[in-house]
């Protein structure tokens, strides 16, 4: 029977029946059978364009979301131990947090790194650190996400090099590179090169992975940091999707076919505390992405139209006061991510407003996901809130307001989202919108118009002793610096000099994909700082003009 004569439900049933199903009893605790989806015969269904109700027909009936816990601290050996503990506790994917020097493309012995090595993530200076970071972990089986942006191409090259040294072909590697440089200028500020030169490196990673790494997501377009900087949910959604469209236009301008790279683009959203608004945000994101990819950019592959995303509970919602209450906040936010159809999820630990998470706090955060997955039954039905008058109305309104933002950016770029986004960055439009939204929320908190438990109300218990925290010491930093000295003394310096010269020459030609040479430099044990400084000599360094 052709799709012209089958109803939406019949089409959904065909796709659902072709999907594997988890070995589970799909009933309520009282024994009432739970259908995999609910809705009218002629309504929207999961796995059908425009994917409002989810990218896959079977959703979590087929497989649960990936429980991808974010971790990184101290040295690579320290974090490797934490990775293995996460896997032992039932984590199904890894997500690597790098320290501030690494995020800014600095080596651990750079004067600017003093006091910051290993503090907010793991220190990675060379291939030697990357080898220790993933030692004993089968990267052909465990998918890996790396939260890195300006030095993303460099860190990615080191990741590929260490996998190959471990006998894993690059085509087998599965995971995600955040690599979303646009939101750095808008929100997080961990940039190195000017925007247009940075976009060249993003283009190179998209091109390289589309040719050689079919299981790898080359860009995780991130709204998380935009929201953490103070944006509203609508601004998070609109700015993130606009950045995504900018990357699509970048790749199209480089001559890539949309269906060759778009399936490898993924998204990273915040799971914030306004429960229903968050669910509506995810549903609107899928619908907008599908429509734009099909109608504006000519995608024909359904995977190009499916907005697949990772979510992380809101770090900015965590409080230093009464930190145990953060467990409740995280559970509510995680549930919003699941009911919104996330493909992977990280749950923040209760102590992260104070320090990097302890092993116990991280385990509780993972257990929170496992309770949602295995005890609540919410994973048994796709889009269970679809059809709710409130959620559907919110979804429509989030979409409408987002489209207004897209129209403004198009006007800035004379019809081009790529130019509009870059112009918006250069003119501080994004930064101004986020600043205004952050100020408005803070004003309402100070006025008592919005309550944060333990901060501006319900403060009994704030005086109690704080929980045990993870401490990163100066000895850890010295240990990392000595390791870097050892790498430099043991490597072939002539080989390093030669490959860095090659990198400089290729960086001067905007048509060259730099990824192969960055991988070569990684194998030679060139450091992050050396590769970044070589490219900065060609690209220059970005200095933001303050908003007035």
CATH code, domain with 172:
3.20.20.240
pTM over 0.85: yes
Residue 405 resides in a domain: yes
DSSP string, 92-143: -EEEEEBPHHHHTT--TTSGGGTTTTTTSSB---SHHHHHHHTTT--TTTS-
Residue 500 resides in a domain: no
The string of pLDDT tens digits covering residues 131-169 is 999 999 999 888 999 999 999 999 999 999 999 999 999
Residue 4, pLDDT score? 63
The count of other CB atoms within 10 Å of the CB of residue 25 is 8
Report the alpha-carbon angle 193-199-203, nearest 5. 135
Mean pLDDT, residues 258-266 taken together: 94
Peptide bond between residue 110 and the one before it cis (omega within 30 degrees of 0): no
Residue 332, pLDDT score? 98
Cα 393 to Cα 93, 110, 280, 388, distances in angstroms: 35, 52, 8, 8
Least confident range from 92-96, 259-263, 295-299, 477-481: namely 92-96
Range of the domain at 216: 67-446
Residue 2, pLDDT score? 44
Contacts of 83 (CB under 8 A, 6+ apart): 71, 94, 133, 134, 137
Give CA–CA dist 365/358, Å, rounded. Answer: 11
Residue 211 resides in a domain: yes
Place of tokens 């925290």: 469
Residue 127 resides in a domain: yes
Residue 469, pLDDT score? 87
Cα 293 to Cα 145, 248, 252, 473, 478, distances in angstroms: 25, 9, 12, 48, 49
Pairing of strands 93-97, 66-71: parallel
DSSP string, 490-535: HS-HHHHHHHHHHHHHHHTSTTS--HHHHHHHHHTT--HHHHHHHH
Asked whether the predicted pLDDT for residue 20 surpasses 60, the reply is yes
Cβ 378 vs Cβ 29: under 8 Å: no
Give CA–CA dist 434/229, Å, rounded. Answer: 7
Asked whether the predicted pLDDT for residue 59 surpasses 90, the reply is yes
pLDDT bin (cut points 50, 70, 90) of residue 548 is low
Cα 212 to Cα 52, 512, 523, distances in angstroms: 31, 16, 18
pLDDT bin (cut points 50, 70, 90) of residue 547 is low
Residue 473, pLDDT score? 83
Cα 176 to Cα 173, 267, 434, distances in angstroms: 10, 10, 26
Residue 183 resides in a domain: yes
Residue 433, pLDDT score? 97
Share of the chain above pLDDT 70, in %: 99
Residue 53 resides in a domain: no
Cβ 508 vs Cβ 110: under 8 Å: no
Cα 360 to Cα 5, 69, 86, 365, distances in angstroms: 55, 13, 11, 9
Residue 134, pLDDT score? 95
The two structure tokens encoding residue 169 = 């072909």
The string of pLDDT tens digits covering residues 501-532 is 999 999 999 999 999 999 999 999 999 999 99
Residue 519 resides in a domain: no
Backbone angles phi, psi at 92, to 5 degrees: -110, 5
Mean pLDDT, residues 19-41 taken together: 92
Total structural domains in the chain?
A: 1
Helical residues (DSSP H) of 175-300, grouped into ranges: 182-183, 195-212, 224-228, 233-253, 258-261, 275-295
Residue 54 resides in a domain: no
Share of the chain above pLDDT 90, in %: 91
């Amino acid at each position: 029977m052709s799709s012209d004569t089958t109803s939406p439900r019949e089409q959904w049933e065909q796709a659902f029946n072709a999907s594997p199903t988890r070995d589970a009893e799909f009933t309520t605790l009282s024994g009432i059978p739970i259908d995999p989806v609910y809705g009218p015969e002629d309504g929207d269904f999961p796995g059908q364009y425009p994917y409002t109700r989810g990218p896959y027909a079977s959703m979590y009936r087929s497989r649960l979301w990936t429980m991808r816990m974010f971790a990184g601290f101290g040295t690579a050996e320290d974090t490797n131990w934490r990775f293995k503990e996460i896997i032992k506790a039932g984590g199904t994917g890894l997500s690597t947090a790098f320290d501030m020097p690494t995020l800014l493309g600095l080596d651990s012995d750079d004067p600017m790194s003093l006091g910051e090595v290993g503090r907010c993530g793991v220190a990675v200076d060379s291939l030697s650190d990357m080898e220790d970071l993933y030692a004993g972990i089968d990267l052909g089986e465990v998918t890996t996400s790396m939260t890195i942006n300006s030095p993303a191409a460099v860190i990615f090259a080191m990741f590929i090099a260490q996998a190959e040294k471990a006998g894993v072909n690059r085509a087998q590697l599965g995971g995600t590179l955040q690599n979303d440089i646009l939101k750095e200028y808008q929100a997080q500020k961990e940039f190195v090169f000017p925007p247009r030169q940075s976009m060249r490196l993003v283009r190179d990673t998209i091109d390289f992975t589309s040719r050689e790494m079919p299981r790898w997501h080359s860009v995780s377009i991130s709204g998380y940091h935009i929201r953490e900087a103070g944006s509203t949910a609508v601004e998070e959604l609109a700015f993130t999707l606009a950045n995504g469209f900018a990357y699509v236009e970048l790749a199209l301008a480089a001559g890539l076919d949309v269906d060759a790279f778009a399936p490898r683009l993924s998204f990273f959203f915040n799971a914030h505390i306004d429960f229903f608004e968050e669910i509506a945000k995810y549903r609107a994101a899928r619908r907008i992405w599908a429509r734009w990819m099909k109608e504006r950019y000519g995608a024909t592959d359904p995977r190009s139209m499916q907005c697949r995303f990772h979510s992380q509970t809101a770090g900015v919602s965590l409080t230093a006061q009464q930190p145990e209450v953060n467990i409740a906040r995280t559970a509510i936010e995680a549930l919003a991510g699941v009911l919104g159809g996330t493909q992977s999820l990280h749950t923040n630990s209760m102590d992260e407003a104070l320090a990097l998470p302890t092993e116990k706090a991280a385990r509780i955060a993972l257990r929170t996901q496992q309770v949602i997955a295995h005890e609540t039954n919410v994973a048994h039905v796709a889009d269970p809130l679809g059809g709710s008058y409130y959620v559907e109305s919110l979804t429509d309104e989030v979409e409408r307001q987002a489209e207004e933002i897209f129209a403004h950016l198009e006007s800035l770029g004379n019809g081009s989202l790529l130019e509009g986004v870059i112009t918006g960055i250069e003119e501080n439009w994004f930064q101004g919108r986020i600043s205004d939204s952050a100020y408005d929320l803070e004003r309402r908190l100070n006025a008592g118009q919005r309550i944060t438990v333990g901060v501006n109300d319900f403060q009994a218990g704030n005086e109690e002793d704080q929980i045990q925290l993870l401490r990163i010491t100066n000895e850890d930093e010295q240990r990392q610096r000595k390791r870097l000295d050892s790498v430099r003394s043991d490597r072939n310096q002539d080989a390093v000099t030669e490959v860095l010269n090659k990198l400089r020459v290729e960086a001067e030609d905007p048509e060259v994909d730099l990824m192969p040479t960055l991988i070569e430099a990684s194998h030679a044990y060139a450091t992050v700082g050396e590769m970044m400084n070589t490219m900065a000599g060609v690209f220059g360094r970005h200095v933001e003009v303050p908003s007035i």
